[in-house]
Amino acid sequence: MLASIKSNHLQSESKKLGMMYFRVAIILFGAQLLMGLIAATQFLVPGFLFEIFDFSVARMVHINALVVWMLYAMLGAVYYMIPDETGMETVGVGLGKLAFWVLTAAVTIVVLVYIFIQVGSGSESTIWLINEGREYLEAPRWADIGIVVVVLVFYWNVFATFMKGQKTGIMTVMVANLMALAGLYLAGMFYTDNISMDQFWWWWVIHLWVEATWEVFVGTLAAYALIKIINAKREIVEMWLWIEVLMLFGSGILGLGHHYFWIGTPEYWWEIGALFSALEPVPLVAMFVHVLYDWGKEQGVAEQEGHRNVMRNGPAMAWIVANAFGNFLGAGVWGFFHTLPQVNIYTHGTQFTAAHGHLAFFGAYATILIGMMYLGLQGAYGIKTLKATFKSKMGIVLIISGVLGMTVALTIAGYEQVLVERAELGAGWNAFFAAQELPWYVQAQTWRTIMGVVTFVGFVYLVWDLLTIGKQARLAQQAEA
Amino acid sequence: MDKENLSVWTSIPFWRRSAAWVTGFAVMLLIWLSFDTLGQISMGSDEDLKNGITKRVPGPTVINYEIDYKMSEKRGGEVPVIGKKELFFGKEWSEQEAADLLHLGKLTSQAKNCMNCHTLLGNGGYYAPDLTKAWLDPAWREGGPLQGMTGKNTKEEAMAEFLMHPSQYPTHARMMPDLGITAEEAKGLVAFLKHMSSIDTNGFPRNFSKTVEQFTAGGTNAR
């Protein structure tokens, strides 16, 4: 009997591959949080691991683990949804599995080099072998090329399966959007002595990922998940998806201008960036309304038909609702706070940005990707209705409280820094440290660290839940039958 | 909704077409603006500097000139002002030498991962001061505490000395770690910083080190 509990109920190899990606993603998520805790501690205790594991290293691994776990979970989500959407098995799933192992080996080597070698001499070989030294895109060039190859395999799998199978609206958006997402990575793969040129292209990757293509990706995931979880009507979901594409790309692509205020680029980006990035929250409100409206509507339909509950996966839906709200709050509201150049000339490059970064990455991406993991588990254990456990609830409550707490603390630290370092003292070395040593700033950083620990405890509950919820639900389902 | 087509507002083809047009328009506008911007931010030449032609990103030989950061009433913020010639590490650098030095400096800034503690042009980590106009920081000037601390006589030598042995010169509990920067790399980094300070950043950071007098007076304006 035990064997049947443990057995994987997924028939599709593509879905199994999706689960493999999810497993690595959750490990890297843990690594991200640990590195964040080290870096947060260094703000309070500057001597902590000094010249052993410096802030620069901890933060580099912190933000790289973030990007990579999200990409893993995104690839996993796509491999998981392909069979449902196209009605067939992914065409090159064997090659896909090989690519998974190649990528995982490469990520392991890159991380070990980051941790143990850290920095190199000022030469091309460092850029190729150790660390490219460009925030978020630190992966050395050899790994960049490896990533491109792996992504080509992945994209071929998505594209070829799409061409052979059903062409749903969700998959149409997915295929087009993934091409842009993958292609943009190339803009970050060259070296230049001109720092303005460097950052111009760097933002093409970073911004057009997180404020355009990743957002559309989230829209497609939410569309798919709503159909799976609450039986939302495909036509409504797909119509919303096209409206979201219109609004997200309509605002997000030229919203890129808000990164071109101060890097040497011309002044016309002030107006372009301000106008379009100010519109960026609009689709996020729409997505929020859409998720809750559909839920209410489908629940109403279910009740009329005499079913008690439309919900098929409680924890996944909880994370998707957290996504709808978190995306609007973190990316939308916290982004809008400092997107106008009149404000940004003071807030640019302060803890204000860190506050926005934390809530936006979490709200817009981490939430829905965790939701997709729960959806995957439901399939892997063949559960008809997955209900949230105590551990699921502890996970979601503690992680959300922790991240919100960190965001509030960093926002307060940001206010201090903006007013004292920038407005009062006019930047500079002395101004920077004057602000960093203010009691209110230190107090805010202390709260950030405490809230980071809360987040980590929530993560422990989350992993514990992910490891046990499937088995438990499977047993309960068998007991009922 | 496809079939019934009760209203254009619930028509999937309408929204699909609109999405495609809006995205296409945004991409075209972005590409057009990008071409214009790339022209404006390409590095200037030695000739431009000699002829007093202002470029948003001057050529590497800008290290041979004095750089200031002055309020422009017309622009409403501070702009870099390139002044008369000055020696840099005791010499004037030829076009090729300056380009090589900047190349070494920029490479070193990436190899040493500066950007994960500091911000460059305001982008990076928030653990250490912004380096956009670090070259212009009064603390490195003659009589400034950072120059005084290193015992060197010029700004560039003081900065290079600090970069090579940062943990020997603690200014605060939070210190810069020793990253194994060589003497040549340190020179390159200082050239990179001096070059960066000459970039027209539309007035960022605003009111840079405006409190320098207050600072030298011991942190107060009270007389």
A256-260: which pairs have CB atoms within 8 A and are 24 or more residues apart?
A256/A203, A256/A204, A256/A207, A256/A208, A256/A211, A256/A212, A256/B30, A257/B33, A258/A339, A258/A341, A258/A344, A259/A199, A259/A203, A259/A206, A259/A207, A260/A200, A260/A203, A260/B37
Greatest extent of chain B over all pairs of C-alpha atoms, in Å: 83
Residue B16's H or E segment, with its range, is: helix B12-41
Q: What is the pLDDT of residue A3?
A: 40
Contact of A242 with chain B, judged by CB distance below 8 Å, is answered with yes
Would you say residue A162 has pLDDT above 70?
Answer: yes
Tokens of A173: 């958006």
Q: What is the pLDDT of residue B218?
A: 54
What is the DSSP track for B111-133?
Answer: HTTGGGTSEETTEE-SSS-B-TT
Q: Do A428 and B196 touch (CB under 8 A)?
A: no
A430 contact residues in B (CB cutoff 8 A): 139, 209, 211, 215
Would you say residue A291 has pLDDT above 60?
Answer: yes
Would you say residue B2 has pLDDT above 80?
Answer: no
Q: How many CA atoms lie within 13 A of B20 on its CB side?
A: 9
Q: Do A200 and B38 touch (CB under 8 A)?
A: yes
Instruction: Kindly tell me the burial class for residue B84, based on how many C-beta atoms sit within 10 Å of its own C-beta (0-12, 13-18, 19 or more).
Output: exposed
The rounded distance, in Å, linking the Cα atoms of A127 and A135 is 13
Task: Determine, yes or no, domain membership for B223.
Answer: no
What is the four-CA torsion angle of B216, B218, B220, B222, rounded to 10 degrees? -90
A209-212: which pairs have CB atoms within 8 A and are 24 or more residues apart?
A209/A181, A209/A184, A210/A360, A210/A361, A210/A364, A210/A365, A211/A252, A211/A255, A211/A256, A211/A277, A211/A280, A211/A331, A212/A180, A212/A248, A212/A249, A212/A252, A212/A253, A212/A255, A212/A256
A242 contact residues in B (CB cutoff 8 A): 12, 15-16, 18-19
- According to CATH, where is 1.20.210.10 located in chain A? 1-166
> Is the domain of B194 the same as that of B117?
yes
> Is the domain of B68 the same as that of B143?
yes
At residue A388, φ and ψ (nearest 5 deg) are -65, 140
Tokens of B135: 């070259």
Percent of chain A with pLDDT over 90: 90
Looking at residues A57-66, what average pLDDT do you find? 97
Other residues' Cβ atoms within 10 Å of the Cβ of residue A460: 15
Would you say residue A4 has pLDDT above 90?
Answer: no
How many angstroms away from the CA of B85 is the closest CA of chain A? Answer: 22
- Best mutation target, B40, B174, B182, B214, to test chain A (most A CBs within 10 A): B174
pLDDT tens column, B98-149 = 999 999 999 999 999 999 999 999 999 999 999 999 999 988 988 888 999 9
pLDDT tens column, A254-284 = 999 999 999 999 999 999 999 999 999 999 9
Looking at residues A240-264, what average pLDDT do you find? 96
> Is the domain of B158 the same as that of B114?
yes
Q: Mean pLDDT, chain A, as a whole number?
A: 94
Name the residue range of residue B198's domain: 44-216
Task: Determine, yes or no, domain membership for B17.
Answer: yes
Q: Do B127 and A59 touch (CB under 8 A)?
A: yes
Q: How far is CA A218 from CA A71, A137, A208, A229, B192, in A?
A: 12, 22, 14, 16, 40
The rounded distance, in Å, linking the Cα atoms of A463 and A26 is 8
How many angstroms away from the CA of A430 is the closest CA of chain B? Answer: 8
> Is the domain of B13 the same as that of B102?
no
pLDDT tens column, A393-436 = 999 999 999 999 999 999 999 999 999 999 988 898 989 999 99
Q: Strand B65-72 relative to strand B123-124: parallel, antiparallel, unpaired?
A: unpaired
Would you say residue A7 has pLDDT above 50?
Answer: no
- Best mutation target, A123, A130, A193, to test chain B (most B CBs within 10 A): A193
Would you say residue B3 has pLDDT above 80?
Answer: no
> Is the domain of B114 the same as that of B184?
yes
Sign of CA dihedral A265, B110, B68, B62: negative
Would you say residue B4 has pLDDT above 70?
Answer: no
Nearest CA in chain A to B36: A266
Looking at residues A34-39, what average pLDDT do you find? 98
Can you count the helices (H) and strands (E) in chain B? Answer: 7, 4
Q: What is the pLDDT of residue A346?
A: 96
Tokens 């980071």, located at residue: A452
> What ipTM was estimated for this complex?
0.94
Q: How many domains does chain B have?
A: 2
Q: Which of residues 288-327 of A touch B (CB under 8 A)?
A: none
The rounded distance, in Å, linking the Cα atoms of B20 and B151 is 63
Nearest CA in chain B to A425: B211
Decide if A348 contacts A261 (C-beta within 8 A). yes
pLDDT tens column, A344-403 = 999 999 999 999 999 999 999 999 999 999 999 999 999 999 999 999 999 999 999 999
Q: What is the pLDDT of residue B200?
A: 97
The rounded distance, in Å, linking the Cα atoms of A345 and A423 is 10
Residue B7's pLDDT band (boundaries 50, 70, 90)? confident
Tokens of A107: 């990520």
Decide if A399 contacts A351 (C-beta within 8 A). no
> Is the domain of B61 the same as that of B36?
no
Q: Which of residues 49-88 of A touch B (CB under 8 A)?
A: 50-51, 54-57, 59-60
> Is the domain of B158 the same as that of B50?
yes
The rounded distance, in Å, linking the Cα atoms of B152 and B161 is 8
Other residues' Cβ atoms within 10 Å of the Cβ of residue A342: 8
CATH of the domain at B144: 1.10.760
Closest CA to A381 of A480, A476, A481: A476
Nearest CA in chain B to A445: B127
Decide if A215 contacts B63 (C-beta within 8 A). no
Tokens of A459: 């993560």
Residue B211's pLDDT band (boundaries 50, 70, 90)? low
Q: Do B204 and A264 touch (CB under 8 A)?
A: no
Q: How many CA atoms lie within 13 A of B220 on its CB side?
A: 3
Q: Do B12 and A138 touch (CB under 8 A)?
A: no
Q: What is the pLDDT of residue B210?
A: 74
Tokens 């919203």, located at residue: A255
Q: What is the pLDDT of residue B38?
A: 97
Task: Determine, yes or no, domain membership for B106.
Answer: yes
Residue B184's H or E segment, with its range, is: helix B183-197
pLDDT tens column, B143-187 = 888 999 999 999 999 999 999 999 999 989 999 999 999 999 999
Q: How far is CA B127 from CA A151, A470, B87, in A?
A: 34, 42, 32
> Is the domain of B12 the same as that of B102?
no
Decide if A281 contacts A335 (C-beta within 8 A). yes
> Is the domain of B102 the same as that of B182?
yes
The rounded distance, in Å, linking the Cα atoms of B161 and B6 is 75
A423 contact residues in B (CB cutoff 8 A): 207
Q: Nearest-5° angle of CA A108, CA A110, CA A116?
A: 95
CATH code at A1-166: 1.20.210.10
The rounded distance, in Å, linking the Cα atoms of A121 and A177 is 38
Q: What is the pLDDT of residue B103?
A: 98
Task: Determine, yes or no, domain membership for B222.
Answer: no
> Is the domain of B36 the same as that of B51?
no
Tokens 């650098």, located at residue: B93
pLDDT tens column, B60-90 = 999 999 999 999 999 999 999 999 999 999 9
B119 contact residues in A (CB cutoff 8 A): 349
Q: Do A135 and B15 touch (CB under 8 A)?
A: no
Q: What is the pLDDT of residue A2?
A: 40
Decide if A317 contacts A311 (C-beta within 8 A). yes
> Is the domain of B88 the same as that of B170?
yes
Residue B33's H or E segment, with its range, is: helix B12-41
